[in-house]
Amino acid sequence: MSSIILAVVIGAAFGAVLDRIGATNPNWIGKMLNLTNLHLMKTILLAIGTASVLMFGGQMLGLVDVGHMSVKTAYAGVFIGGLLLGGGWAAAGYCPGTGVCAAATGRKDALFYIAGGLLGAAAYMVTYPAWKSAGLLEGEKLTLGTVPGSGYDGILPVSGDILGIVMGLAFVAVAIALPERLRGGGEAVAPAE
Amino acid sequence: MVLNWKTGGVVLGLVFFLAVLLVKPIGVSTQFVILDAIVADAVSPDFITQTDDGYTSTNAYMAKSDGKYAGNAANPLNYSFVFVLAMALGAFLSAMARGGVPAEERKLPAIWYANYGDTPLKRYTVAFLGGFIVLYGARLAGGCTSGHMMSGMMQTAVSGYIFAAGAFAAAVPVAIMMYKREG
């Protein structure tokens, strides 16, 4: 039961923050991906960096349970799937989480997006054996460095905890260094909504 | 108006941190499969079946990892599924608290209007096809923007970097081609 309460609290907080940073708004996503307004990109990079530093710092101090880490397998399909997701993300302006949130805020196109998403997920359920037999789902669960107690192998011979903090700080630095826009002239224009 | 990136970034980072501190890293796209399976099992009750030590399915994807997905679909009141429902509720309450999304935006986003005019049917078709490709890709990759890109890179997962490289390699050219006018 307590896990359901946590799901409600953390889920609601996540949805609310996605709404407040503009991630549920296809205008912000479109302007980020066509590189004319990188405000949302700076937000996301800073978030990844902040979470990384807190998580690895907490693990080193023994305040965060390393067992809560959940690293996904790296395999060829991750890249192919990433390409597909990227194309659809740019066209629609939604990723799976923000599409659900956007529909909840009343955006009609997001309802069509969810319907397409359910059909796409079903199509994958049906075609999964083909990807599996092609060997494109074979891989390993790897992190950059080896994180003590995580059970995952690192690809570099360095402390995964310290490297995690360094990477987190690097994300923060890129968030700060990134300009407001990379394409087009003048000041980056914020969407009205 | 959105939160300044400094505030928004720290707050979003805190949510991702709280999730891993209290439960596990955030992920969303698996729940599209779970909802599909709930529907499939309602239509055809043999889709998910109980075994001696859990659940299995006539679908190989649902049955993989000892029927983990089949079990989640049989018991939807689990953390990950409720998380996605709560996420929608949180976004709804947040949007209402700031006065709601304007009616013309709910019909068509400004960036679409700026590039393609008042063409809602075309927009809804693109959104539908986009959703199809995104979820197909996310399931092939084993995660989406939340699970791979944010939760993955935050944990220095190699899979997260590979996914992000693929996603942006496709997303940036497509966005530049499709949305030439800034909106």
Same domain, B65 and B10: yes
Distance from A153 to chain B by nearest Cα, in Å? 10
Same domain, B77 and B133: no
Q: Give the amino acid at B14.
A: L
> Chain B 107-146, CB below 8 Å of chain A: which residues?
107-112, 120, 123-146
How many CA within 13 A on the CB side of residue B84?
A: 23
Residue A33 pLDDT: 98
B43 near A CB under 8 A: no
Cα torsion B103, A34, A82, B151: sign: negative
Q: Give the amino acid at B133.
A: I
Taking residue B117's Cβ as centre, other Cβ atoms within 10 Å add up to 9
Give the one of A7, A37, A120 whose C-beta lies nearest to B79's C-beta.
A7
How many CA within 13 A on the CB side of residue B25?
A: 28
Strand partners, A147: none
Same domain, B36 and B111: no
For residue B10, what are the domain limits? 1-100
The secondary structure of residue B147, as a DSSP letter, is: I
- List of chain A residues whose C-beta atoms are within 8 Å of the C-beta of residue B141: 77-82, 84-85
Same domain, B67 and B21: yes
Taking residue A162's Cβ as centre, other Cβ atoms within 10 Å add up to 13
Choose one of B100, B121, B152: the last residue of a domain: B100
Closest CA to A14 of B82, B5, B73, B148: B82
Locate the chain A residue with the closest alpha carbon to B105.
A107
ipTM for the whole predicted complex goes beyond 0.90 = yes
The secondary structure of residue B157, as a DSSP letter, is: B
A85 near B133, Cβ under 8 Å?
Answer: yes
A48 near B150, Cβ under 8 Å?
Answer: yes
- List of chain B residues whose C-beta atoms are within 8 Å of the C-beta of residue A91: 126, 129-130, 133, 174, 178
A2 near B CB under 8 A: no
The residue extents of the domains of chain A are 2-177
- List of chain A residues whose C-beta atoms are within 8 Å of the C-beta of residue B164: 82
Measured CA to CA, the distance from residue A5 to residue A164 in angstroms comes to 30
Q: Give the amino acid at B11.
A: V
List chain A residues with pLDDT less than 50.
none
- Residue that has been written with the tokens 């935006």 in this structure: B105
Same domain, B123 and B180: yes
What dihedral do alpha carbons B85, B91, B96, B102 form, nearest 10°?
Answer: -120
Same domain, B114 and B179: yes
Residue A184 pLDDT: 86
Residue B183 pLDDT: 67
Residue A55 pLDDT: 98
pLDDT in tens, B135-170: 999 999 999 999 999 999 999 999 999 999 999 999
- List of chain A residues whose C-beta atoms are within 8 Å of the C-beta of residue B113: none
Residue B182 pLDDT: 80
Residue A192 pLDDT: 77
Same domain, B59 and B136: no
Give the total number of structural domains in chain B. Answer: 2
Measured CA to CA, the distance from residue B111 to residue B115 in angstroms comes to 6
Same domain, B129 and B143: yes
Give the one of A85, A89, A192 whose C-beta lies nearest to B141's C-beta.
A85
Contact A77 B127 (CB under 8 A): no
Residue A1 pLDDT: 67
- Residue that has been written with the tokens 């530049």 in this structure: B176
What is the pLDDT of chain B when averaged over all its residues?
Answer: 97
Locate the chain B residue with the closest alpha carbon to A106.
B106
Decide if pLDDT at B85 tops 80.
Answer: yes
